Structure 1
């Protein structure tokens, strides 16, 4: 058997002799592989983003629970105080029907979460100002000042959480081919600056008598419902993550 030397030209001529349809098939296969790799990378980034959002939501909830316990002890005199009959109509609804929750569109789910967080931010800001007023009047000054700072810290976390939720909302809208952009986070807390909302400002109704005790109960309701809202938000994000994983299977 005679061995023939390898020449690059012979390889080129062999590929040149391939039918056009075969070359086209290879080209489309390459494009498909590139698209598949890009899709997998995008899915991995989104999964990581959702994972981080779930962790952050749980971390914020832990801080809210600690603040709620301290608030009840300092403002209500009983850290075990609990009264589910007390409500504020201006706060987002926490209770949802399971079937409705399961089949809600991703964009609507995230939009409700974003708007709800901004509403809680507004209520936190309002009550923080009341605590500052009490401090200026000399009422429990040290405790109120400490609570006011804790409210402030939660507000900063809520602001960052809104941004994370809006990132997921933008992605969800892109997936459904919507050109509508996500609402810009309207909670930018800064000392001495009032809340600036891109939508109509939330008017906090005085559903309770304007007594000092009623004002303290109001702060309890805000923190209590925020705790429950963050539980639902974490559940929503975990549900969205599971849906993304199923898409990648």
Structure 2
């Protein structure tokens, strides 16, 4: 009788621990979902300001232009549903790293522009600082994803980010192209964060069962 009771107690402890672990995971994914949405809101605000200050046109539309070093935004729905949690998290981590890298490069370009034209800092809201805030949000999201990846696979080790090389002196044409690249990066990041929030929502919903 005592042995039977001990076995039941042991099983109950395991089940309780599993439920608590599932709840913790669900809360983490929910928090990541909220951060992805709030980050997207800040990206949208920055995109509007960027078009005004860097492109001189709030209605600028370069939707036909793409950057090859950014993640693809198109998704096959059936394939997306079949992704394992690990593959979903790993892809999210790599995608966010790609966006962080290009924002770092563009922030460097903007800082050089501010130094060359000191009056920009006096009359305009600092775009480099806005870029930095978005990067900090992305870094927080990457840390959250990395934590979930370690929970899924204990062997996962967060990679050391590669150094981002800033652009050297450019011609006026190249300078304009670089500004358009900044627009494309923010535009695609806005769309990507919608996709990322959807991933977090799906991952959280799996923990309700």
Aligned length: 204
Structure 1 residue runs of 5 or longer lacking an equivalent are 1-21, 174-178, 187-195
Give the alignment partner of residue 227 of structure 1, picking from 190, 203, 206. 190
Summarize the Cα distance change of 1:203–1:232 in structure 2 as closer, same or farther, 3 Å threshold: farther
Equivalent residue number for residue 134 of structure 2: 154
Question: Does structure 2 retain, via aligned residues, the 8 Å contact 1:132–1:145?
Answer: no
Greater C-alpha radius of gyration: 1
Rounded to whole Å, the distance in 1 between the matches of 2:135 and 2:96 is 10
Counterparts of 1:27-42 in structure 2 under 5 Å?
A: 27-42=6-21
For 1:138 and 1:183, locate their aligned partners in 2 and report how far apart those are by CA, in whole Å.
39
Q: Assess if the C-alpha contact under 8 Å between 1:119 and 1:202 holds in 2.
A: no
Q: Partners of 2:127 and 2:67 in 1: how far apart?
A: 21
Is the counterpart of residue 123 in structure 1 residue 102 in structure 2? yes
Assess if the C-alpha contact under 8 Å between 1:68 and 1:223 holds in 2.
yes
User: Contact conserved, 2:42 with 2:134, CA < 8 A, in 1?
Assistant: yes
- More helix, by proportion: 2
Q: TM-score, normalised by structure 2?
A: 0.89
Please give the alpha-carbon distance, in whole angstroms, between the structure 1 residues aligned to 2:164 and 2:87: 20
- CA apart distance, 1:30: 0.7
Check whether the contact 2:109–2:166 (CA below 8 A) recurs between aligned residues: no
Which one of 76, 95, 98 corresponds to residue 77 of structure 2? 98
> Which residue in the other structure is 2:30 paired with?
51
Does the Cα contact within 8 Å between 1:117 and 1:162 map onto a contact in 2?
A: yes
The alpha carbon displacement at 1:54 in A equals: 0.7
**Equivalent residue runs for 1:63-74 within 5 Å:** 63-74=42-53
Match of 1:241 among 195, 204, 208: 204
The C-alpha deviation readout for 1:5-47, integer Å capped at 9, x for no partner, is: xxxxxxxxxxxxxxxxx33221111111111111111111111
Equivalent pair of 1:123/1:222 in contact (CA under 8 Å) = yes
Distance in 1 between the 2:3 and 2:29 partners? 39
- Cα–Cα, structure 1 residues 145 and 211, in superposed 2: closer, same or farther, change >3 Å? farther
Q: CA RMSD in A?
A: 2.2
8 Å CA contact retained: 2:23, 2:207:
no
Q: Deviations over 1:120-156 (max 9, x none)?
A: 1110010111111112222872367711111111111
TM-score between the two structures when normalised by the length of structure 1? 0.75
Instruction: List 4+ stretches of structure 1 deviating above 6 A.
Output: 202-205
Equivalent residue in structure 1 for 2:177, among 214, 222, 229: 214
Is the 2:100–2:135 contact (alpha carbons within 8 Å) kept by the matching residues of 1?
yes
Structure 2 residue runs of 5 or longer lacking an equivalent are none
Q: Distance in 2 between matches of 1:140 and 1:119?
A: 32
